[in-house]
Structure 1
Amino acid sequence: MPAASAFDVLTFGEAMAMFVADEAGPLDTVGRFHRRTAGADTNVAIGLARLGFDVRWLSRVGRDHNGTFLRRALEAEGLDCRHLIEDPAHATGLLFKARAEGGADPHVEYVRRGSAASHLCLDDCREVALETARHLHATGIPPALSATTRELSFELLTRARAAGLSISFDPNLRPSLWSSEAEMKQTLNALAAKADIVMPGLAEGRLLTGRDSAHDIAGVYLDSGAQAVVIKLGPEGSYFRTREHEGSVAGTPVTQVVDTVGAGDGFAVGIVSARLDGLDWPAALHRANLIGARQVQVIGDMEGLPRRDELAAMERSGEAMPG
């Protein structure tokens, strides 16, 4: 049997077909939509692939036209979809997103209950050669989808830790997907304890830990086993704390916010890529702030994620130039 080939990053979760309204207004009044890809985990995967990393994607899609669309779109972005399973019994998840105005968070409606991705299970990761990867990126969305995806999440983080990979975890709270807030907090904090880098937003960190300040939130995760905690502060920038150091990096100003969805995923792309590139924490946060700021200036969940030459120009200028 040939040796498994090395690769950079594994991500997993649910990719969805997203239908974005072509005009402003309530979704029931909109007659035209444009189909795009969606899903926090895929956004990060796409962002890392655009920066030249070898990224593998683990998920399920239905045997339907939306599943075919997603596979084609993700492969066109450079993702290795060898672990994307076609499920003949369950449909691909969908979402419909209103056109936001004035920088407001857009209204989103999901059609994902019982989706193909929610039927991911332990058997689906048996063939994943984690021991040849460098990094695992995980979010709190897969464990919210079903009991089997939760089991898969714990298995992958446990295997990655045993194999010596670096692991990043973005809680990415979706309270409506959980049976209770207590279950959400317990599960996500248990997963965070298996990660090296934990990346909550400030409000997320407050909810999950019961602490108020970024310093104290970070302390909870450092005490549970994390090597570094990075906290998103919105337009104010971001904060990091390790066992030896802490600091803040100011946010990157933008002239117009078009769509806030995907900003946190762009931030995660910045942190993970910077650490894989060997940058220190202040430089990693600066990159993450730049990419997050770029993403809010475009329509779509991942359309603002830069390629390597675009990122280099942004880092030279210190500006989040929209694509």
Structure 2
Amino acid sequence: MPVKSLDVVTYGEAMAMFVASESGDLAKAKSFVKRAAGAELNVATGLARLGFRVGWVSRVGRDSFGRFVLETLASEGIDSTAVTIDERYPTAFQLKSRNDDGSDPEIEYFRQGSAASQLSIADYRPEYFQAARHLHLSGVAPAISASSLELAFHIAGEMRAAGKSISFDPNLRPTLWRSREIMADRLNALASYADWVLPGLEEGRILTGLASPHDIAGFYLARGASGVIVKLGSAGAYLRTARQEATIPAAPVAKVVDTVGAGDGFAVGVISALLEGRDAHFAATRGNLIGAMAIQVSGDSEGLPTRKQLVDCNGPLKQHR
């Protein structure tokens, strides 16, 4: 069967996520709502809702959680033909607290020995990846196992050699690495394949040892990036390319409900705009807007807009129509 053409392809781990129904200590929660979670899956979901053709590559177990992930992909219109059902290893899951005060929720992961941790170069299908015009990578999937890290470098090298554009969000998970030094070394090396690097300010400081957004961006520009956008939280985003430098104000937020997924929403905004041929300033502005939309709704991806919702929203992109 011929591979469908894709706008974006990404790979990573998706988990079943159980979110507490009541606010407070996770240990005291008695009921939960099941959702699907995963940094790369959030980005794939957001781009698919905006009308892009998106492929997602992973491994899931032959279990109910795996079926749930596949059903979620289908419901969002994400292509799953390159997802392998693993006969030996299970699909991971996580527990997440509900925090009505807008603070970061408590999250407990149950992912050791998961099906996705078995991802390796054997999961690279050149005809599938190269059917896409853009590759999005995050720092989560490379952290889950040595073989998945090897796969990340292989994908990045092959896609760059094929002339595809690449975005990279560090999305740090220090507890999954043997040390912060190893994490910084490997993720900075992976970032060198990317056209666009999208670190948070604190992530950039950890990875580069530099303090200012200007210097963090310069670090990645010197290593081959075309552009860097540093996420500044409520202060917006800092953009730097070889010919442009700007701080883009944050989009207004009425109330912070759930901070998880803000960075993924930002990536959705940036990538979607760049794929549409928009300029970097517009891309960062849309990133701020979708990131703001994401944190005003409970759930990692529930706040990611459809194309109609994006157009209809009363945000800073109105002036760019």
Give the 3 Å change call, closer, same or farther, for CA 83–3 of structure 1 in structure 2: closer
In 2, Cα distance between equivalents of 1:128 and 1:218: 33
C-alpha deviations, 1:72-125, integer Å up to 9, x for none? 011110100001110110110100000113110000000001110000011111
Deviation of the 1:282 alpha carbon: 1.2
In 1, Cα distance between equivalents of 2:53 and 2:33: 29
Give the 3 Å change call, closer, same or farther, for CA 3–22 of structure 1 in structure 2: closer
Deviation of the 1:131 alpha carbon: 2.7
Taking only the aligned residue pairs, the percentage that are identical comes to 53
| More deviation, 123-132/218-227 | 123-132
What SS does structure 2 have at the residue aligned with 1:231?
strand
Q: Does 1:10 align with 2:9?
A: yes
Deviation of the 1:319 alpha carbon: 8.1
Residue matched to 2:258: 259
The answer (yes or no) to whether the contact 1:8–1:54 under 8 Å persists in 2 is yes
Aligned with 2:316 (options 290, 295, 318) = 318
**Structure 1 stretches lacking a partner, 5+ long:** none
Residue matched to 1:62: 61
Residue matched to 2:281: 282
Q: TM-score, normalised by structure 2?
A: 0.97
Q: Does 1:124 align with 2:123?
A: yes
In 2, Cα distance between equivalents of 1:13 and 1:142: 5
The AA in structure 2 aligned to 1:95 is Q
The AA in structure 1 aligned to 2:311 is A
Deviation of the 1:4 alpha carbon: 4.1
The AA in structure 2 aligned to 1:43 is N
Residue matched to 2:154: 155
Deviation of the 1:214 alpha carbon: 0.5
1:166-205, aligned counterparts within 5 Å? 166-205=165-204
In 2, Cα distance between equivalents of 1:228 and 1:318: 22
What SS does structure 1 have at the residue aligned with 2:83?
strand
Q: Does 1:165 align with 2:184?
A: no
What SS does structure 2 have at the residue aligned with 1:309?
helix
Residue matched to 2:293: 294
Residue matched to 1:27: 26
The answer (yes or no) to whether the contact 1:196–1:225 under 8 Å persists in 2 is yes
The AA in structure 2 aligned to 1:244 is R
RMSD of aligned residue pairs (Cα, Å): 1.3
The answer (yes or no) to whether the contact 1:19–1:95 under 8 Å persists in 2 is yes
In 1, Cα distance between equivalents of 2:258 and 2:173: 19
Deviation of the 1:313 alpha carbon: 1.6
What SS does structure 2 have at the residue aligned with 1:241?
strand
Residue matched to 1:109: 108
In 2, Cα distance between equivalents of 1:80 and 1:25: 37
What SS does structure 1 have at the residue aligned with 2:82?
strand
In 2, Cα distance between equivalents of 1:122 and 1:98: 35
The AA in structure 2 aligned to 1:289 is N
The answer (yes or no) to whether the contact 2:82–2:128 under 8 Å persists in 1 is no
In 2, Cα distance between equivalents of 1:13 and 1:22: 27
Give the 3 Å change call, closer, same or farther, for CA 103–131 of structure 1 in structure 2: same
The answer (yes or no) to whether the contact 1:130–1:163 under 8 Å persists in 2 is no
In 2, Cα distance between equivalents of 1:59 and 1:132: 17
The answer (yes or no) to whether the contact 1:62–1:116 under 8 Å persists in 2 is yes
Residue matched to 2:46: 47
Deviation of the 1:145 alpha carbon: 0.5
**Structure 2 stretches lacking a partner, 5+ long:** none
The AA in structure 1 aligned to 2:276 is D
C-alpha deviations, 1:254-308, integer Å up to 9, x for none? 1110000000000000000000011111111111111000110111000000000
In 2, Cα distance between equivalents of 1:170 and 1:318: 23
Residue matched to 2:75: 76
The AA in structure 1 aligned to 2:254 is T
Q: Does 1:135 align with 2:134?
A: yes
The AA in structure 1 aligned to 2:206 is L
Deviation of the 1:318 alpha carbon: 2.8
In 2, Cα distance between equivalents of 1:85 and 1:127: 15
The AA in structure 1 aligned to 2:300 is D
Deviation of the 1:312 alpha carbon: 1.1
Deviation of the 1:133 alpha carbon: 1.3
Residue matched to 1:233: 232
C-alpha deviations, 1:236-271, integer Å up to 9, x for none? 100111111111110012111000000000000000
The answer (yes or no) to whether the contact 1:248–1:282 under 8 Å persists in 2 is no
The answer (yes or no) to whether the contact 1:27–1:98 under 8 Å persists in 2 is yes
The AA in structure 1 aligned to 2:265 is G
